[in-house]
Structure 1
Amino acid sequence: MDSIGDGLDRALESAFTRRPPQSAQAQMKYLVKQLKGTRAVARLLRISQRTVERYVAGQLKRPRRELRDRIEREVHKRWQPQVRARARRRAATTDGLVVSTRARFGFTAAPGTTDDARIRDIIQALPPEFAARLFTAREQGATEHQLQQIAADGLAQMYFRANDTRAHGLGVEFTDIEQIEIQL
């Protein structure tokens, strides 16, 4: 199951203008520079300071899979913060987001309507106001459920209610996300 938070992170990474460091040595050097020391990097990655020093010196070259994943995640989190901020600002003010998802949607509507939940594939552009809400919630540490609710509100307004021109009062439940991709 994909998460909306991860989808937002991947969308911002697509705005990078240069590739992040690829080798373990280059990644470790970058982290040491960003965190201003090997001790902080060691604490962050939960390894010894000496191990960090060995990677920086090029004595160690291939980290085990879990360490490699942690290093890549931390490098991507810190890579090109100004480019990331510019992309976030542009999405929140002018461009908005495009959400492509395969998830279960159910409805709360007037009696006598068909509101059973079912799996749907949806690709929908969301306006900047929903992009701003999603990014703000993500920065403030919102839970995945809260991010899902914001995305459900956006999809309900734009896809199911056609920007509030039909199906007034239709409430949308957004659950069981199988796949989600967010693009800027």
Structure 2
Amino acid sequence: MAASDEQLVAILVDRARSEGLQLTGEGRLLRQLTKRVLESAREEITQALPPAFADQLFTAREQGATEQQLQQIAADGLAQMYFRANNSRAHGLGVEFTDVERLDIEL
């Protein structure tokens, strides 16, 4: 995290504590911030997928997979590489595509 980001977080936490806000727990500041960050990030995510997921996508397409099936393969790859950081965090997190306007796949 950049120094300016750390300062911003420190200011936010200090302000929340001084105003008596709870940081953790259901409906608390941390949960609200996480939700807002994820909602803003969902507008555009660029992530390279491992060759195994690309292979699955192309094989499934050649075998006549539906758009929904292809999106699920891409969502699984995105979950592993972006949200779970190649399985180093967020274990058990499920990802699905909703309201997809555009999905670009480049080689």
In which range does the TM-score fall when normalised by the shorter chain? 0.5 to 0.7
Separation in 1, partners of 2:91, 2:99? 25
Aligned pairs for 1:53-68 (under 5 A) are: none
Counting only pairs closer than 5 Å after superposition, residues 93-112 of structure 1 correspond to structure 2 as 112=26
Q: Where does residue 46 of structure 1 map in the other structure?
A: none
Write the distance in 2 (CA, Å) between the matches of 1:133 and 1:115. Answer: 30
TM-score by length of 1: 0.37
Q: 1: distance between equivalents of 2:43 and 2:85? A: 17
1:173 maps to: 96
Q: Distance in 1 between matches of 2:58 and 2:82?
A: 20
Structure 1 segments, 4+ long, off by >3 Å, are 111-119
CA–CA separation in structure 2 for the residues paired with 1:120 and 1:169:
23
Unaligned runs of 5+ in 1: 1-110
Structure 2 gaps of 5+ residues are: 1-24
1:161 aligns with 2:87: no
Partner SS, residue 65 of structure 2: coil
Tell me the distance in 1 between the aligned counterparts of 2:60 and 2:103.
18
Cα distance in 2 for partners of 1:120, 1:160 equals 15
User: What pairs up with 1:81-120 in 2 under 5 angstroms?
Assistant: 112=26, 118=39, 119-120=42-43
TM-score (structure 2 length as normaliser) = 0.61
**Aligned partners of 1:171, 1:115: CA distance in 2, in Å?**
15
Q: How many equivalent pairs are there?
A: 74
For residues 58 and 103 of structure 2, what CA distance do their matches in structure 1 show? 16
Larger radius of gyration: 1
1:134 aligns with 2:51: no
Distance 1:145 1:151 in 2: 10
Mapped to 1, the partners of 2:83 and 2:61 lie a distance apart of 25
